[in-house]
Amino acid sequence: MGDFTVRTADRRDTTLTQQAVDDLAGRLRGTLLTPQSAGYEEARAIWNAMIDRRPGLIVRCAGAADVMQAVRFARENGLLVSVRGGGHNIAGNALCDGGVLIDLSSMRYVQVDPMGRTARVAPGATLGDLDRETQAFGLAVPVGINSTTGIAGLTLGGGFGWLTRKYGLTVDNLLGVDMVTADGQFLRASAEENADLFWAVRGGGGNFGVVTSFTFRLHPVGPMVTAGLIVHPFDKAGDLMRRYRDAAAALPDEAACWIVLRKAPPLPFLPAEVHGKEVMVLAVFCALDEEAAAKALEPVRALGTPIGEHLGPMPYAAWQSAFDPLLAPGARNYWKSHNFTHIDDGLIDLLVEEAGKLPSPHCEIFVGQLGGAANRVPADATAYPHRDAAFVMNVHSRWEMAPEDTACVRWARDVFDRTAGYATGGVYVNFVTDDEQRVQAAYGANYDRLRALKQKYDPGNLFCVNQNIAPSG
């Protein structure tokens, strides 16, 4: 028997008795881990190896009742709280030092209603979990582009990917959530119930409570789509990006073409002499039938003479996991991001110049194409406000060893600073790192309303390990 040192919400050390910890463990269907428990080190490991934090307690929840118990315990004892879904967030907000980690990663069910075209999804599910279940019925939710991403964090920040131009953001397809608020109460938020809270969770992150279930609208997609990569020589990147603008603008909403500037991975369809050299990659997707897709994508394929191309029919779920090898967990990651309404010549010149300075073979700059349905929603319809963003740039600095930290972080910041004059000033909250103060930029004109709702639902700021929205009080 002994006391446990834990961290309070105001970042001070305090102690919990063995009896208090045992009492909490006895009320759980899941498990409670302390730093001395077997499995603790594995439980605190998350996607970004830059983040190394040690929670005082980890509550591995088996269901909503466990979440309620954990929230109440943390509130009653004044403890610091973090919440983990898939553990994929760049800022590492899944973890807190010394506090209580509410771990939802074991809650991974996906229940599909193919007749009603809806899916009920647990907060620990990944995009791969969701895609596998929905694609069995030829259905899908617009989500991100990496199958190991957690559905909870992606959704609560907004969520965009290959289907966004046709069907909107992930939050535009969210029908309701079950959640536990800061007072430990369970409630439902939808257009009909607690509508103000439903507005807030559609982009407001984990500021308002712990979501224990998401209900999504599904759309007919696949199971076969047209997708793949077109790889061009780097010395043609500037000219190709200028011509890309017209080709991208001509695409139907069912299609998207993203730009990636990076060193070529050893892909089998590329000549060996290109491996490890800078290239410009067009990542292409179209959800139309094969003949219509070929016609729609012809302007993109005609932009230049590629080094290699791997583009054609493939299962949607396979395309959703195509980038997983480049985003595997355990590497060190640092991101910087901007939104753009258009791509200027000056921006293109800067991106090409900076892509010629990649500090690690794993670094890249990607420019994701949005627009379409995502931009037809009013900016105040959801907490996510960036309905003018036609393109999102993510400077994805990624490397393996700590001695590379300084160079890789500096490069990402340099790209960000040099391209800021072409950006809207807004940012996608899921791309914000833990050293940035960009919460107001993430929410724009919606920020004050979010602060008022934070005051209503979490006036004590229990849920503060996030891109934090301070209560208005």
Per-residue pLDDT at 445 exceeds 90: yes
Strands 57-60 and 100-103: parallel
Q: How does pLDDT run across 393-428, given as a tens digit for each residue?
A: 999 999 999 999 999 999 999 999 999 999 999 999
Q: What is the pLDDT of residue 461?
A: 97
CATH architecture, domain defined by 4-103: 2-Layer Sandwich (3.30)
| Class of 224-431 in CATH | alpha beta
Listed residue (399, 393, 331, 355) closest to 49, CA to CA: 331
Task: Return mean pLDDT, the chain.
Answer: 97
Q: How does pLDDT run across 231-275, given as a tens digit for each residue?
A: 999 999 999 999 999 999 999 999 999 999 999 999 999 999 999
Cα angle, residue 206 at apex, residues 471 and 100 outer, rounded to 5°: 95
Spatial distance between the Cα atoms of 180 and 359, rounded to a whole number of angstroms: 43
For the segment 310-324, the average pLDDT, to the nearest whole number, is 96
Q: What is the pLDDT of residue 361?
A: 95
| Class of 110-220+444-457 in CATH | alpha beta
For the segment 289-302, the average pLDDT, to the nearest whole number, is 96
Listed residue (170, 153, 1) closest to 82, CA to CA: 153
Spatial distance between the Cα atoms of 258 and 358, rounded to a whole number of angstroms: 19
Residues in the chain: 473
Q: What is the pLDDT of residue 4?
A: 87
For the segment 3-13, the average pLDDT, to the nearest whole number, is 92
| In contact, 370 and 164? CB cutoff 8 Å | yes
Topology match between the domains 110-220+444-457 and 224-431: no
Dig out the tokens for 358 from the structure: 């990649």
Percent over 70 (pLDDT), the chain: 100
Q: How does pLDDT run across 82-121, given as a tens digit for each residue?
A: 999 999 999 999 999 999 999 999 999 999 999 999 999 9
Instruction: Cite the beta strand spans of 276-324 per DSSP E.
Output: 278-286, 308-315
Q: What is the pLDDT of residue 26?
A: 97
Q: Which residues, including other chains, have CB under 8 Å from residue 322's CB and lie 6 or more apart? A: 227
Percent over 90 (pLDDT), the chain: 98
Work out the number of other CB atoms within 10 angstroms of the CB of residue 72.
Answer: 17
| In contact, 102 and 180? CB cutoff 8 Å | no
Spatial distance between the Cα atoms of 199 and 197, rounded to a whole number of angstroms: 5
Q: How does pLDDT run across 342-385, given as a tens digit for each residue?
A: 999 999 999 999 999 999 999 999 999 999 999 999 999 999 99
For the segment 196-206, the average pLDDT, to the nearest whole number, is 98
Instruction: Tell me the pLDDT band of 473, cut-offs 50, 70 and 90.
Output: confident
Cα angle, residue 314 at apex, residues 308 and 317 outer, rounded to 5°: 120
Spatial distance between the Cα atoms of 16 and 37, rounded to a whole number of angstroms: 16
Cα angle, residue 142 at apex, residues 138 and 143 outer, rounded to 5°: 115
Listed residue (3, 104, 113) closest to 61, CA to CA: 104
| In contact, 215 and 175? CB cutoff 8 Å | yes
Q: What is the pLDDT of residue 99?
A: 97
Q: How does pLDDT run across 166-177, given as a tens digit for each residue?
A: 999 999 999 999
Q: Which helix (H) or strand (E) holds 451?
A: helix 447-457
For the segment 221-230, the average pLDDT, to the nearest whole number, is 97
Domain ranges of the chain: 4-103, 110-220+444-457, 224-431
What's the pTM value of the predicted model, to 2 decimals?
0.96
